[in-house]
Chain A
Amino acid sequence: MIRLPLLLVVASLTASQSRADTRYEYNRDIRPILAENCFACHGADSAARKADLRLDRREDAIASGAIVPGKPSESPLVERLDLADPVKRMPPERSHKKLKPEQKAVLKAWVAQGAEYQPHWSFISAKRPPLPAVKRADWVCNPIDRFILAGIESAGLEPAPEADRRTLARRAALDVTGLAANPKWVDEFVNDPSPNAYDKYLDKLFASPSWGEHRGRYWLDVARYADTHGIHFDNYREMWSYRDWVIGAFNKNMPFDQFTIEQLAGDLLPNATLEQRVATGFNRCNITTNEGGAISEEYLVLYTRDRTETASQVFMGLTTGCAVCHDHKFDPISTKDFYAMAAFFNNTTQGAMDGNIQNTPPVIPVPSKGDESAMEQLQGKITKAKLAVENRKNVSRGEFEIWQAKATPATISGTVSPNGLALSAALTEGKGDKAKFVIAGKDVDIPLTGAAWVAGRDATKALKLNGSTATVPDAGDFDFNQAFSCAAWIKPPVNAGFGPIVARMEKQPDYRGWDFWMQDRRMGMHLINKWPSAGLKVVASAQLPANAWTHVTVTYDGSAKASGVKVYYNGQEQPVTVENDSLAGTTRTKVPLRLGQRDAGEPLANTPVQDLRVYKRKLSLNEAESLGNKLDGILAKAPDKRTADEKTQLFNWYLGSRDQTYGELKAGLVALEKEEIALRGRGTIAHIMQEKPGDAMAHVLERGEYDRRKDQMKASTPQSLPPMAKNAPRNRLGFAQWLLAAEHPLTARVTVNRFWQEVFGTGIVRTSGDFGITGEQPSHPELLDWVAIEFRENNWDVKKLFRLMLTSATYRQSARATSVKIDKDPSNRLLSRGPRFRLDAEVIRDQALSASGLLVAKIGGPSVKPYQPDGVWEAVAMIGSNTRDYRRDKGENLYRRSMYTFWKRSAPPASMEVLNAPNRETCTVRRERTNTPLQALVTLNDPQFVEAARVLASQVLADKALANDSDRLNALARRVLARDFRADELVILSESLADLRRRYAADPADAEKLSSVGDHPVQGALDRKELASFTMMANLMLNLDEVLNK
C-alpha cells in the first residue's frame, strides 16, 4: 500500500496512538525523535558522545542495555524519560530538550514492537514501486498522477480542474523557456482542435534554444558560477566559456550522466575534447583569493573543501560541511569519509593564489567560433618553428665555442650606450641609510627610509624595497609623448603583491604619472593622465620566478599607445596583456620619483633590487638583451674558468646578438606567437581541472584546520554508500562513474527532485540539498523513487523527464485554491492544485524584456552590464580592483537574458539580489523566495522595467489594427499574460487609464520625461502624453501579482 505523505502522517499521529495495531517505522516515526533529542550526545560523533552510549545503531543500543526489545519497562531509553530525579532524567535539563507525551508513547510502543531499526531511507537503493490504486482513474494522464492523486484522495480532497489553455500555455512557456509565452504560438495552441494540441505546443517550446538557457540558469546557481574571483580584490575571472558549455549541453539534451561525468572529470576522459575540458570549469567556479598576506595551504584546503561539499550537495544531497571538523552527528559521513572524498578534489594543479588575473592557471585557450581550424594550423606552425629555433642552437654551438674562447669584456662593451641615462643606481652599498645615485650624470647620495640590505647577485648586496624606500625629487619627469625605459635586476618574493619598482605618480583619484610596475610577479608599466579614463597599462603575461634574480626592462616609445610598450625578462621580449589603452593628455606631475611606492599607496613588498636604470629613450632589443645579461664578470674570467651556467648565459646572449640566422628564426617564432595571441584575443579561455601526477590524497585535518594534519587518506567514497567498482580509477572520473551507478541510492533521486522543484516550486523532498537524516522526508516517497528510476532507465534524458512532468494532469491543474484546500493543504505539498509561485529574479526581468520585444535572442558569449544604479560596485570594491567601476554597456547588451548579466560576487546584480538571487559564493540548490517591499520598488522603478513598459506601450500604440483602448489593453495582456482581460478587470484598467491621461494632459513635461527613460529610441510619431499614459499602464501590468507569479 502507499505510504501516507509525511504531513498527513504527522497530522494523524496523535489520533493513531490509541490504536494498538499501529506499526511504527524507525525512519518515519522514531528517528526524527531520536535525532532531535538524543543523537547529539549518543550518536555517531565519537568526540561528543556521552557515557559511551550510542543510540543510532541498534546493536550498540541493545548491547549497552539502553533498549531491551519488546520490553519497554526494562529499557532505560523509555524509562529515563520520566524519572523524577533531574540528574538521571533524559534528555538532561541543560540540553533544553523536552519530549512531548505523544513522542514518549511512540517510543514506548516501538520498543514494545521489537525496536526494529532501518537504514536511513535515502541510503537504501530505490526500487521501482507499483502504481497505487486510485478512485478517479479517469483523471490520470501518466504515472506521476497516480501517486499524486492517491495522496489527494487520502486527504479527502479532489484535484483541481484543468487550467484553461492560455494559463497553461503561459505556465509551460515560463517553465521550458523562462520567457513570456509567444502570443502567436499561444493562439495556435488555443485554436488547435487536435487531441495532441498541447504536445505540439510543447514541441515548439522544447525545440527553442531558450530551453538550454533557462535550464542552464538554474545550474549556474548549483555550479556557483560568477564572473569574479570572490575574495578581496574580487577581480574579473574569464569564465563564460563554461556557461556556454552548460547552455549547449542542455540544448543538445546531453544525458545527465554524461553531463555529470564531463563536468566532474572531462579532463580525465580518454582523448578528452576541448569541450570536455571546458566542462571541468564546474570545479573552477569556486571563490578564490589573492589577498596579500594569505597563507597558501590554508586556502588550498578551503578550495578542496568547497569542491567536495559542492559535489556532495549537488549530486548526493548531502551536507558534508559538519564532517570537516567532527564526525557528523547524524549522517553516516565520518570525518575520515569526508577527507577521503576530498582527496578526489585535492589532486589539482591549481594554485592557492588567483593572481588577481582573469586567467588563473590551469587554463586553455578556446578559439572563437570559426577560428578553431586556424588555431590548430597555427599551433602546428609554432611547434615547427620552435623546433627550428632549437636546431639552430645546436648548429650555432660550434661557432659560439670559437667566439667565446676569444671573447673578453671588451668584445661586447659599448653595446648599451650611456646616452640618455637619466638615473642609475647600483644599490649594492650593503649598509647604511644612503645609496649612491647618478642623476643626469651627477653623483647624489639619496637617503633611504628603512633600508634593508640583503644578499644580492654574485656575492654583492642588494637593496630590499618595502614601501617608499627612497625619494628622488627631480628625476623621471617624462611626458606622455617622450620615449623612456626602465631596467633593473629584481628578486620578487612569492607573494610580491602590487607595487612599483620606481614611480613618479600621484595618488588617487587621478594617478597621474608613470610607474615601472610589478603585479603578482608580472612586470609592466602605467602611463596615466587620469585613471582609468585616460591611461595606459601593459603587463607581461608571464610571471617572474619567485625568489630568483631576473633582469627586467620595460621600454616605451612615446606613442601614447599600449603597442609602444615592450617588456623584457633577461633580455627576452615577453608577450603582454594590455589592461588599458586610453592614454591621452599629459602625464607630467609635480610629485617626486619614488622607489618602492607611488607618491602614496601601492607599496611594493619585500623585493630586493639592484642596478636600477632609467633612460630618457627607448632601449633596443639588443640593448635590453645586453643589459639583461651582465656578462662582464663572466667574460673577465679565462674561458676555461667559466662554469657551465655562465657559458649558458653567454650562449644565450650570443644567440640573441651575434647569430643572425638564429635571430631570424626567433623573430619568426615571435611573429607566430603574436598571431596566436591575436587569435586567442578573439576567442576566450576556459578554466579547467588538471590532475597532478601521483595518487589522489588528502589529510584528515583536526577541527578542519589546515595546519593540524592527521592521517593521510587515499581517495575513497563514504563507507555507508555502495563501494566503487574494483577496477574503477581512484580519481574524479572513478568518483563520477560511481555516482551514476545503478545501485547508487542518491544521485538520481536528488537530481529528479531538483528538477521537480524547478517545476512545482518545492521538491518532493523539500530540503533539496539535504537528503540526510536532518533533511525532511519526501512528501511522496514512492513517487520520488518511481521518477528517479524512470529517469535513469530512460538514459538520464532531461527533456523527456520535463515532458513527463509537464504532461501530467498534476501539472495541468488550475492553481485556484479553495478554502478547504488552504486548510488541508496550505502550502500545496499534496499538489491538490497547480503550481503557482513567484518567478525567479531572472525570469521576471526576462519576461518583461521578451514581452516588450526588447530581448536580444543571441545565445552565449561574454557577460554584459545592463542598467544598474550608480555606486553599487564602488561602495564595496577595493581601489585597484578591476571590477570597481561599473560602466554599463550600450545597445544590445542592455537587453540580453539575465543569465548573461555580469556577476560580481561581492556585489551581485542589484535588482536580482533583491529578488533572492544568491551571491554565488557557494553552491545553492534552492533559492529563498521572499515577498518584500524592496522587490516592489525594483519592478516599479528600475529603469530596465520602466523602459520595457514604455517599449511595450509604444508597440501597442503603433499598432493600427487596434481600434480602441480595450483592444490596446488586451494587446498588452496577451503579450504579458497570454490572455485577454476580463470585463471586471477592464473596468478598473479603463478608470486608471482615464486618470493617467488627465494627469499627463495636465503635465506634458512629465509625459516627455517618462517617455525618455532608457536608451531605446522613442518612435518619433507617438504622442508623448498618450505614450506616458500607456507606459504607466504597462508598468502597472508588469507589477500584477499574476505577472510576477507563474
Chain B
Amino acid sequence: MHPETEMGLNLTRRRFFGQGAHPLGYAALASLLGGRASAANSIDGGGVTPHFPAKCKNIIYLHMVGGPPQMDLYDYKPKMKDFYDKDLPDSIRKGQRLTTMTSGQARFPIAPSKFKFKQHGQSGMWVSELLPYTASMADDMCFVRSMNTEAINHEPAITYIQTGNQVTGRPCLGSWVSYGLGALNHNLPTFVVMVAKPSNTEQVQAISGRLWQSGYLPGEHAGVSFRTSGDPILYLNNPPGVTSSTRRASLDGLRRLNELTARDIGDPETVTRISQFEMAYRMQASVPELTDLTTEPESTLRMYGDAAKQPGTFANTALVARRLVERGVRFVQVYHNNWDTHANVAGRLPDQCRDVDQPCWALIQDLKRKGLFDSTMVVWGGEFGRTIYSQGGVSQQNYGRDHHPRCFTLWMAGGGIKPGTVYGETDDFSYNITKDPMHIRDLHATMLQCLGYDHSRFTVRYQGLDQRLTGVEHANVIKQVLA
C-alpha cells in the first residue's frame, strides 16, 4: 500500500479494538503522574457519525471466490435450449474483450444450463435445482441479477469488489465499516475474516491477506483472520506447560514492572501497552469460547448440516459468523473457493452448491431466531459472472465457462434490504444487462446507505484528497432494493 496514511499519522497508540474506547494512555498516565489529563487525548478520535439512521448494524459477506455461473444458478435462460452448440452471435458479444484463456478460441459455442429451474415464493424468482434451501427462502431475499464490473480476471476483480479499485492498496469494505461504526465488543475485533475450505478443490483461486487490508485507514481496521485450523487467532494459546493461572501470575509481575516504567519514563504508550496485555489475556478466554460450538444446541447444528461440526467448512464458518455478529462483531467476511468453473460445470457445481446452500439457509433462519436478522445484512456473490458460451468444447453432459464481467447475480438479505425483490434483467444470453444495472460501486453505495452513511460524504483525507470507497466515478444508491 501507499505509505502516507495522513489521518493515521497521530495514531502511534493505535489499539486493535478500535476507536470507541476512551484514550486510555494519556488519561491513565496523567493519573499515574498525578497531573491532569492532556488535551491531546482526542488523538484517537471516534468512529464516523452516521449521516442518517442506520437500518443495519452488522454485515456478513459471503464471497464465492472464482465467480459462480449465474445462468446455472439464478439467471434463468430457457431460450438457450435452442442455441445448444450454436455460436454466440456477434450482436451479443459486441466486440467485448475476453480473457486470453478463450480469446484464441475459434468459436464460442453456447452451453445452455443443464440444470432445471423453478419459480419460488411471491417474487416468483427462478432458482436452480442445485439450491433448494436458498430457493425456499426466496421471499426473504433480494436477488440482483444485474451486477457488473469491468475486471475480467480474478485478482483485479476480487480486489475491485472488495476495495472499490482494481489496483491493490485501498481499504476494503470491512475496513470502512470498522472505521465508520467502530466496535461494539471490546474483547473482539470489529472485522473478522474466515476462509472456508470447499469440499471440492478442482480449481481453487488465490486469496490473499491484501484483500482484507485497511489501506490508508489505520491498521486496526484491517480484517483479523480467524483461522479454521490451529488457534483461531495466531499465538492465542499459552505455550505448553503454561497454565492460564501461571500466565495470569506472570502478567501481574509484568504489569507491576511496566507501571514502574510508566512512572519513571512517562510515556503514555507504556500505559496503553499494559492495557493491551490485559486485553490479550481476556481474549485468550473470549475467542475459544466464541469458536467452541459445543454450547450450541444440537438442533442448531442440525440446521446447518453435518459439516457444521467440522472446523473450516462453509457450514462451520457460517455458524461462527452468526456467533460473531451476536457478540457485536461488525463485519464478517467469509470466503468460499473453487467457483472458477472453466471446465466441468456439471461435475463441480453440485459440490459447490451443496457446500453453501443449506448453511446459507440456516444462517438466515438462525439470525431470525436470534432476533438479529433485521440488523444484519447477509450478502452472497462472486467477483464476476461467467460466459454463456463454453470454454473448450460443449456437450449435453458437460461444459466449461470463462469469466464474464458484464453481468452476474448476487443476493442480499436482512438489515435494510427489501425482502422478496428481484432486481435487474439480462438478455436471453445472460450476456448483457437489459434493465436496472447495478455496478459494484452501486452495491457499495447501497450497503453504506443501510449502515447509515452517504457514500459521497463517508470520506477520509489521504494524499490531499477526500477518498471514499466508491472512488471518483459516479455511484448510485439503488433505492429499489432498500426496505
Measured CB to CB, the residues of A under 8 A from B are 35, 40, 96, 231-234, 287, 289, 291-295, 302, 313, 319, 321-322, 329-330, 448-452, 454, 464, 466-469, 493-495, 497, 507-508, 597, 600-601, 603, 605-606, 707, 766-770, 772-776, 815-819, 821-823, 826-827, 836-838, 869-872, 875-879, 881, 905-908, 910-911, 913-914, 916, 918-919, 921-938, 940-943, 946, 984-985, 988-989, 991-992, 995-996, 999, 1003, 1005-1013, 1028, 1032, 1035-1036, 1039-1042, 1044-1045
Contact = CB atoms under 8 A, between A and B. Distances in A.
Contacts of B277: 933, 936, 940, 1039
B87 interface: no
B238 to A, nearest CB: 6
Which has the most chain A C-beta neighbours within 10 Å: B35, B195, B267, B399? Answer: B267
A999 B100 CA distance: 65
A942 B233 CA distance: 12
Interface stretch (B6-14, B128-136, B138-146, B428-436): B6-14
Contact of A467 (B3, B246, B270, B392): B392
B3 A926 contact: yes
A926 B8 CA distance: 12
Interface in B98-116: 98-102, 104-107, 109
Most buried by A among B4, B267, B399: B4
Interface stretch (B152-160, B289-297, B355-363, B413-421): B152-160
A876 B100 contact: no
A525 to B, nearest CB: 22
Nearest to B25: A931
B291 to A, nearest CB: 15
Interface stretch (B205-213, B322-330, B366-374, B437-445): B205-213
7 contacts: A295-B97, A767-B4, A770-B463, A819-B33, A922-B168, A988-B260, A1039-B277
B106 A452 contact: yes
Contact of B266 (A451, A452, A822): A822
Nearest to B268: A822
A508 B201 CA distance: 8
B260 A467 contact: no
Nearest to A926: B3
B162 interface: no
Contact of A996 (B202, B230, B250): B250
Given A826-B40, A875-B227, A877-B206, A292 B234 contact: no
Nearest to B256: A988
Contacts of B40: 822, 826
Contacts of A818: 266
A928 B208 contact: no
B174 interface: no
B395 A450 contact: yes
Contact of B395 (A449, A910, A1032, A1041): A449
Interface in B423-472: 457, 463-465
- Looking at B97, B100, B247, B390, the one whose CB has the most chain A CB atoms below 10 A away is B100
Contacts of A905: 208, 210
Given A767-B4, A774-B464, A295 B100 contact: yes
B236 A838 contact: no
B241 A1009 contact: yes
Contacts of A999: 243, 245-246, 249
B265 A1036 contact: no
B5 A466 contact: no
Given A319-B463, A932-B14, 9 more contacts: A452-B393, A454-B106, A467-B391, A467-B400, A603-B343, A869-B230, A910-B234, A922-B2, A940-B247
Contacts of A231: 155, 206
A911 B234 CA distance: 8
Contacts, number: 367
Nearest to B99: A293
A936 B463 contact: no
Contacts of A911: 234-235
Nearest to A880: B204
A992 B250 contact: yes
Interface in B189-230: 195, 201-210, 213, 218-220, 224-225, 227-230
Interface of B: 1-6, 8-17, 26, 29-30, 33, 35, 38-40, 97-102, 104-107, 109, 152-155, 167-169, 195, 201-210, 213, 218-220, 224-225, 227-231, 233-243, 245-247, 249-250, 252-254, 256-258, 260-262, 264-270, 272-274, 276-277, 279-280, 283-284, 342-344, 347, 390-395, 398-400, 402-403, 457, 463-465
A926 B229 CA distance: 33
A260 to B, nearest CB: 19
A991 to B, nearest CB: 7
Given A869-B230, A878-B206, A1013 B402 contact: no
A1008 B240 CA distance: 9
B106 to A, nearest CB: 6
A204 to B, nearest CB: 27
Contact of A937 (B15, B235, B342, B463): B235
A918 B393 CA distance: 44
Contact of B235 (A452, A707, A940): A940
Contacts of A837: 12, 269
Contact of A1010 (B101, B104, B240): B240
B182 to A, nearest CB: 15
B215 to A, nearest CB: 11
B254 A1040 contact: yes
Main secondary structure of the interface of A (DSSP, over half): loop
Contacts of A940: 235, 238, 247, 277, 280
B240 A1009 contact: yes
B202 A816 contact: no
Nearest to B155: A231
Given A930-B14, A937-B280, A876 B249 contact: no
A330 B261 contact: no
Kindly name the residue among A448, A916, A1005, A1039 whose own CB sees the greatest number of chain B CB atoms within 10 A.
Answer: A1039
B237 to A, nearest CB: 6
Contacts of B247: 940
A995 B256 CA distance: 15
A828 to B, nearest CB: 9
Contacts of B5: 928
Contact of A933 (B206, B253, B283): B283
B276 A933 contact: yes
Nearest to B398: A449
Nearest to B269: A931
A1006 B241 contact: yes
A474 to B, nearest CB: 21
B219 A467 contact: no
A592 to B, nearest CB: 14
A817 B97 contact: no
A330 B464 CA distance: 8
B100 A289 contact: no
A466 B391 CA distance: 8
A433 to B, nearest CB: 9
Contact of A989 (B233, B253, B261): B253
Contacts of A1010: 239-242
Contacts of B283: 933, 937
A1041 B224 CA distance: 24
List the 7 shortest-distance A-B pairs measured between CB atoms, nearest first. A450-B393, A293-B99, A774-B464, A1010-B241, A466-B392, A1009-B241, A992-B253
Contacts of A943: 239
Contact of B104 (A606, A816, A925, A1032): A606
Contacts of A1041: 258, 261-262, 267, 269-270, 273-274
A918 B1 contact: yes
B242 to A, nearest CB: 6
A876 B465 contact: no
Given A451-B393, A774-B463, A879-B204, A919 B10 contact: no
Nearest to A949: B239
A934 B16 contact: yes
A826 B38 contact: yes
A941 B236 contact: yes
